[in-house]
């Protein structure tokens, strides 16, 4: 694992920390390779159900390391684009725990996650245009799917930041946390997700993620291709049995 990335396990939850606080966790290739390796592990290990991305030192990330950019270095890895994340086909949910700034590529990484938990004083933004750059790490794809186009145009064309309260009102942020304390509620949210049937979690996430591109008349058939195997699984039977027996279920991913 990269020296600029710290990885911990909290039960079935993997916490990946960007650890370059001196540069507000700006992304370089070494950090990207470390995050990519951690996400490979998350997808591969059946003991892990949910991932959290966060930054050390009070900020999520200020974006791409421009000094590395001037050396011709991009924060991409594994053939999956930015941080080995934004172009990845993944099964397990990811939560961004955002303290401080999530700017430029940092905001794009947060948007590539399924859920965002943010401190009340967090700030989000796409300032690339102010440096004659384009936010090409996925924001222009994911942001219009989450908020209205007026908001997208404002953020992308002005480069001005968005505060956490407005991001929450727009539905970009699912939970607000006290200043500097996004990790604890992110762990609570991740733990709740991880306690549920993993086959069902992955199928639900896949349906939500993919249905945007499904023709309406094909929705039920395509949903059934993902949901039917779960409904007929041993885990589904275990969930029903545990309910009737007033106990916690024991999931087997089968």
Average pLDDT over residues 122-130: 97
Query: What's CA 213's distance to the chain center, in Å?
Result: 20
pLDDT per position as a tens digit, 55-86: 999 999 999 999 999 999 999 999 999 999 99
Average pLDDT over residues 23-48: 97
pLDDT for 1 equals 60
Other beta carbons within 10 Å of 200: 17
% of the chain at pLDDT higher than 90: 97
Give the C-alpha separation, 40 to 53, whole Å: 14
Beta-carbon-side half-sphere exposure of residue 89 (alpha carbons within 13 Å): 1
pLDDT for 2 equals 74
**How long a stretch of residues is the chain?**
254
Whether 38 has a pLDDT exceeding 90, the answer reads: yes
% of the chain at pLDDT higher than 70: 100
Q: 92: which 2 tokens?
A: 């397990």
Instruction: Provide the annotated active-site residues.
Output: 108, 128
Sheet containing strand 123-125, edge to edge, reads 101-103, 123-125, 162-163
pLDDT for 123 equals 98
pLDDT per position as a tens digit, 133-191: 999 999 999 999 999 999 999 999 999 999 999 999 999 999 999 999 999 999 999 99
Predicted TM-score of the model (pTM): 0.96
pLDDT for 88 equals 95
């Amino acid at each position: 694992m990269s020296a600029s990335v710290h990885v911990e396990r909290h039960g079935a939850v993997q916490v990946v920390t960007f650890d370059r606080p001196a540069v507000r966790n700006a992304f370089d290739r070494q950090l990207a390779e470390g995050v990519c390796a951690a996400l490979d592990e998350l997808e591969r290990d059946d003991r892990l159900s949910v991932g959290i991305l966060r930054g050390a030192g009070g900020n999520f990330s200020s974006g791409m390391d421009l000094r590395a950019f001037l050396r011709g270095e991009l924060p991409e890895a594994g053939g999956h684009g930015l941080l080995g994340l934004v172009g990845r086909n993944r099964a397990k949910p990811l939560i961004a725990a955002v303290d401080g700034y999530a700017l430029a590529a940092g905001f794009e990484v947060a948007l590539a996650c399924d859920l965002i938990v943010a401190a009340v004083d967090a700030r989000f933004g796409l300032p690339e245009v102010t440096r004659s750059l384009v936010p090409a790490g996925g924001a222009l794809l994911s942001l219009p799917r989450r908020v209205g186009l007026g908001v997208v145009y404002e953020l992308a064309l002005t480069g001005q930041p968005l505060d956490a309260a407005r991001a929450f009102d727009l539905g970009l942020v699912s939970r607000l946390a006290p200043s500097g304390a996004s990790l604890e509620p992110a762990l609570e949210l991740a733990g709740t997700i991880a306690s549920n049937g993993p086959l069902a979690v992955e199928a639900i996430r896949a349906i939500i993620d993919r249905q945007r591109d499904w023709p309406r008349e094909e929705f039920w058939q395509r949903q059934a291709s993902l949901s039917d195997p779960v409904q007929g699984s041993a885990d589904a039977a275990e969930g029903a049995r545990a309910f009737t027996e007033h106990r916690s279920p024991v999931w087997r991913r089968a």
